[in-house]
């Protein structure tokens, strides 16, 4: 075993509980009066407060070898059926009538409805033997997003939070961890801090909330001047409390984002209409296009959610309607990244919390199944065309070459050049690795 190296995130002095409560109250009042209040804006604040430290870390960080610089997570919320997506078993009892189509990789088939993705299989890798110990939606989502099962003593960071922490980037005016169309359990910063939580926003067809002032320029500037007077007066004999609120740094960073050209990355309307149609005229399709644009301006991780995969009833029809949304978006994202020469530095991960049972229930649905399901990967550091593992065509035996969730997590982090053996110290003094898994060699480029 390689020796473990200690790593402690930069420490910041924390105010007392009473001071923190007081600071929170005044910070909210300040934001409200300045016309900057809003749920999305408050979410951004944590990202802004962390950015100065990240810039310094970026300048001081040693050169490191890595391939993936950003990750796009296509989160299929609800648990997609492997048999109706990436692991069909045509002609078997467990298929229940689902067929298969050939792909660009000889001998590899996908379920009908993924015709366009099949054409991109030479750039995509599959794991068909994922195994998890969690069959509950919330617990399984936590496990798939963090690589760990839920633990009451610690909240683990998601992949995106780890990337933002370990691969800081100076000069990015917008949050570098973004969740578009967020589901019930968006990615979190965990013990790394709330500043690494995903910034949540909706359909890119609409503007990003709370990024434009509702006031005229003159009135906006007048309010800020007035608030500056109030803050200076308040700071007399209370400088420590004012410093703890970080009012000035937060507002300065927020206003910088509001005027930043990088905000345009969320707006897909400037893209050619043919490309937008290729992604699909759906919120998910637009979100995938926005994800590509965001990674181009330095965003480390974009999570895009497609909900509706909890097919306890009417599984086949529901899966087909979902594939009509997923297929154009996934296939075009992979092709678009490749044609722009971005695929080598952008890793795409398509996954849900678990799979679906081999048997079909009385309602024509498939139930939760963590004992052999599929994920798809493409891009930075991933071996294209690879297929790992196999499930039993009779649905009775365990999958061949099983891949635990922790190993998938370790593989993705390794593809990004992150040292998974590093030990981190949580705020309560626990030592935790980013992953306890082992990278799957067959998925990684040599």
Average of pLDDT values for 87-92?
98
| pLDDT tens-digit readout, 361-387 | 999 999 999 999 999 999 999 999 999
What percent of the chain shows pLDDT beyond 90?
Answer: 68
Task: Say if CB 337 and CB 347 are below 8 A apart.
Answer: no
pTM (2 d.p.): 0.82
Task: Say if CB 356 and CB 118 are below 8 A apart.
Answer: no
For each of the domains in the chain, give its residue range(s) and CATH number, in order of start: 14-63+212-264 (no CATH), 69-207+267-443 (3.40.720.10)
* pLDDT score of 64: 42
* pLDDT score of 222: 79
Three-state SS at 67: coil
How large is the greatest C-alpha to C-alpha distance in the chain, in angstroms? 78
| pLDDT tens-digit readout, 299-308 | 999 999 999 9
How far apart CA 247 and CA 192 sit, in angstroms, is: 22
* pLDDT score of 211: 65
- Give the burial string for 310-333 (b: 16+ CB within 10 Å, else e): bbbeebbebbeebbebbbbbbbbb
Average of pLDDT values for 331-337?
98
Residue, of 320 and 233, whose pLDDT is higher:
320
Task: Say if CB 325 and CB 280 are below 8 A apart.
Answer: yes
Residue, of 421 and 134, whose pLDDT is higher:
134
* pLDDT score of 236: 77
Average of pLDDT values for 411-415?
97
| pLDDT tens-digit readout, 1-56 | 333 333 333 333 333 333 333 333 344 444 444 444 444 444 444 554 444 444 43
Average of pLDDT values for 109-137?
98
* pLDDT score of 350: 98
* pLDDT score of 269: 96
| pLDDT tens-digit readout, 92-106 | 999 999 999 999 999
Three-state SS at 126: strand
Mean pLDDT of the chain: 85
* pLDDT score of 198: 96
On the 0-12 / 13-18 / 19+ scale of CB atoms within 10 A, 1 is exposed
| pLDDT tens-digit readout, 131-170 | 999 999 999 999 999 999 999 999 999 999 999 999 987 6
C-alpha distances in angstroms, 344 versus 109, 123, 176?
24, 10, 19
Most confident of 42-51, 108-117, 189-198, 201-210: 108-117
């Amino acid at each position: 075993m390689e020796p473990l190296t200690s790593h402690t995130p930069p420490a910041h002095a924390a105010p007392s509980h009473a001071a923190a409560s007081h600071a929170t109250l005044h910070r909210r009042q300040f934001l409200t009066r300045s016309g900057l209040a809003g749920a999305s804006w408050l979410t951004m604040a944590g990202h802004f407060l962390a950015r100065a430290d990240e810039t310094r870390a970026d300048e001081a960080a040693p050169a490191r070898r890595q391939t993936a610089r950003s990750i796009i997570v296509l989160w299929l919320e609800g648990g997609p059926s492997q048999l109706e997506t990436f692991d069909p078993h045509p002609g078997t009892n467990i298929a229940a009538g689902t067929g298969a189509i050939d792909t660009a990789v000889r001998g590899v088939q996908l379920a009908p409805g993924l015709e366009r993705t099949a054409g991109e299989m030479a750039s995509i890798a599959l794991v068909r033997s994922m195994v998890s110990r969690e069959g509950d939606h919330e617990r399984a989502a936590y496990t798939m997003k963090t690589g760990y099962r839920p633990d009451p003593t610690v909240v683990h960071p998601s992949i995106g939070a780890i990337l933002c922490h370990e691969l800081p980037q100076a000069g990015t005016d917008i949050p570098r961890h973004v969740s578009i169309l967020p589901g019930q359990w968006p990615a979190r910063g965990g013990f790394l801090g709330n500043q690494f939580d995903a910034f949540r926003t909706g359909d890119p067809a609409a503007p990003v909330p709370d990024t434009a002032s509702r006031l005229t320029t003159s009135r906006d500037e007048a309010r800020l001047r007035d608030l500056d007077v109030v803050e200076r007066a308040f700071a007399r004999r209370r400088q420590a409390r004012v410093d703890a609120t970080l009012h000035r740094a937060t507002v300065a960073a927020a206003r910088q984002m509001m005027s930043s050209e990088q905000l345009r990355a969320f707006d897909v309307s400037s893209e050619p209409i043919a490309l937008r149609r290729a992604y699909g005229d759906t919120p998910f399709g637009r979100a995938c296009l926005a994800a590509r644009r965001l990674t181009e301006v330095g965003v480390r991780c974009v999570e895009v959610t497609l909900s509706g995969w909890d097919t306890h009833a009417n599984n086949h029809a529901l899966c087909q309607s979902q594939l009509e949304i997923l297929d154009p978006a996934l296939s075009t994202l992979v092709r678009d990244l490749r044609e722009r020469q971005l695929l080598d530095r952008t890793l795409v991960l398509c996954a849900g919390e678990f799979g679906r049972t081999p048997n079909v229930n009385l309602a024509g649905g498939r139930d939760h199944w963590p004992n052999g399901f599929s994920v798809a990967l493409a891009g930075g550091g991933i071996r294209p065309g690879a297929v790992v593992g196999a499930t039993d065509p009779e649905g009775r035996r365990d999958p061949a070459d099983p891949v635990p969730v922790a190993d998938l997590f370790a593989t993705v982090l390794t593809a990004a050049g992150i040292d998974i053996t590093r030990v981190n110290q949580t705020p309560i003094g626990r030592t935790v690795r980013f992953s306890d898994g082992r990278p799957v060699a067959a998925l990684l480029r040599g």
